């Protein structure tokens, strides 16, 4: 993540603007592209590449979320620069399928543009802050661009080095003076999760494209929609309000660090889980009338498991809500893989039942507000 700066001139921050939501829609196109890559290469090499690409893209995106939390896009110059940043993200998304091949240079140029626009917006807010941030921004962008020029292991090595710079940079500067608008911050990250979950519904449609709409395929599509709904329920379900209150209650000197951990680190597995799940459900629709290959069954269950683990981590950092049943559920869904090797419908239904059981158990064990009041 681009490191939040010290000494930025802060402005009043309102709720997420429609321009920011438009920006998020462009960013989430990368989720669709990453899903397609993983569905086409459901092996460890393909998964590794998806993780590397997602980490680079997410940390740069989250840098924009931090920036607009402080520098609202309220004037024409900022809006124009944000639009240019969207174009950079569009270049990145379009290049994702061939990022390790011929279109790698497009990925690198797009990333450099996104990074430069981010720095420009922050420079406009506080030139003094950029004296601290510019070297790390330039280094990470140069590593990504350099990696896009070379090939083979060198590309992966330079991109992993860029990720290391991005991950370390927030710890090289204090975050105590970063003014976090909790309402805006929680809403912005919640919107990106719900839009990403919407992409999993798109994956269902992509899987069914050009195929006969048999009863089995319609059944798997319906169950896939139920799974997306249950993942939405698990992340939200009133917890967005609790997350806002929890972040607001953190002392201002520690709020930036808490925000980094809960919304930076913890959201990586959340988004990765959506990507993996979407790739799995896409293939489940294709093979609805029979069984899944081991890789596809693992994608379906593994995506849900990764999402649950990310949600547990998110709740841990904010100290909100129950976590035990979600942790158990993350491992329980992996046990459905053998079912998928026999019946696609059976595995999708089993995963849905397990998620519903987690939600039911949490609701049953939740304290009664009326009893607590007495």
Determine the Cα–Cα distance for residues 167 and 165; give it in Å rounded to an integer. 6
Determine the Cα–Cα distance for residues 104 and 282; give it in Å rounded to an integer. 26
Quote the Cα angle for 123-125-129, to 5°. 60
Helices (H) and strands (E) in the chain, counts: 16, 0
Among residues of the chain, what percentage have pLDDT more than 70? Answer: 89
Mean pLDDT calculated for residue range 79-108: 93
- Res 216: pLDDT: 95
Between the CA atoms of 102, 104, 107 and 111, what dihedral angle is there, to the nearest 10 degrees? -150
Q: Which of 137-151, 171-185, 201-215, 219-233 has the lowest mean pLDDT?
A: 171-185
- Res 311: pLDDT: 96
Q: Average model confidence (pLDDT) for the chain?
A: 88
Task: State pLDDT tens for residues 339-373.
Answer: 999 999 999 999 999 999 999 999 887 655 444 34
- Res 73: pLDDT: 78
Instruction: Compute CA distances 257 → 53, 171, 176, whole Å.
Output: 24, 9, 8
Domains of the chain listed by start with CATH number: 18-171 (no CATH), 182-373 (1.20.1410)
- Say if residue 3's pLDDT is above 70: no
Q: Which of 8-22, 188-202, 231-245, 336-350 has the lowest mean pLDDT?
A: 8-22
Determine the Cα–Cα distance for residues 374 and 372; give it in Å rounded to an integer. 5
Mean pLDDT calculated for residue range 67-77: 80
- Say if residue 21's pLDDT is above 80: yes
In the structure, what pLDDT confidence band is assigned to residue 195 with cuts at 50, 70 and 90?
very high
């Amino acid at each position: 993540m681009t490191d939040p700066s010290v000494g930025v001139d802060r402005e009043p921050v309102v709720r997420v603007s429609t321009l920011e939501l438009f920006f998020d829609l462009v960013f989430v196109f990368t989720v669709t592209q990453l899903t397609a890559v993983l569905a086409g290469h459901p092996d460890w090499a393909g998964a590794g590449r998806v993780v590397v690409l997602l980490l680079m893209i997410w940390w740069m995106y989250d840098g924009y979320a931090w920036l607009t939390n402080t520098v609202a896009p309220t004037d024409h110059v900022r809006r124009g620069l944000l639009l240019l940043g969207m174009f950079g993200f569009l270049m990145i998304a379009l290049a994702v399928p061939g990022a390790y091949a011929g279109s790698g240079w497009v990925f690198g140029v797009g990333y450099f543009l996104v990074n430069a626009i981010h720095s420009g917006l922050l420079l406009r807010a506080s030139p003094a802050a950029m004296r601290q941030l510019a070297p790390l921004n330039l280094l990470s962008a140069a590593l990504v661009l350099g990696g896009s020029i070379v090939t083979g292991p060198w590309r992966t090595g330079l991109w992993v080095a860029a990720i290391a710079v991005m991950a370390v940079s927030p710890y090289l500067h204090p975050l105590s003076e970063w003014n976090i608008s909790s309402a805006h911050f929680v809403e912005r990250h919640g919107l990106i999760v719900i839009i990403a979950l919407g992409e999993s519904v798109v994956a269902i449609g992509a899987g069914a494209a050009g195929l006969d709409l048999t009863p089995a395929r319609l059944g798997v599509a319906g169950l896939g929609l139920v799974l997306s709904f249950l993942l939405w329920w698990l992340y939200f379900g009133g917890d967005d309000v609790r997350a806002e209150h929890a972040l607001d209650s953190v002392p201002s000197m520690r709020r930036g660090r808490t925000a980094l951990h809960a919304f930076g680190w913890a959201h990586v597995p959340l988004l990765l889980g959506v990507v993996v799940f979407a790739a799995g459900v896409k293939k489940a629709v294709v093979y609805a009338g029979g069984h899944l290959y081991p890789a596809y069954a693992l994608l379906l269950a593994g995506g849900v498991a990764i999402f649950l683990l990310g949600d547990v981590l998110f709740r841990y950092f904010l100290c909100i809500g129950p976590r035990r049943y979600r942790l158990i559920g993350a491992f329980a869904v992996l046990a459905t893989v053998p079912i998928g090797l026999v019946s696609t419908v059976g595995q999708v239904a089993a995963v849905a039942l397990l998620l519903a059981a987690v939600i039911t158990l949490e609701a049953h064990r939740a304290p009664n507000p009326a009893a607590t009041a007495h």
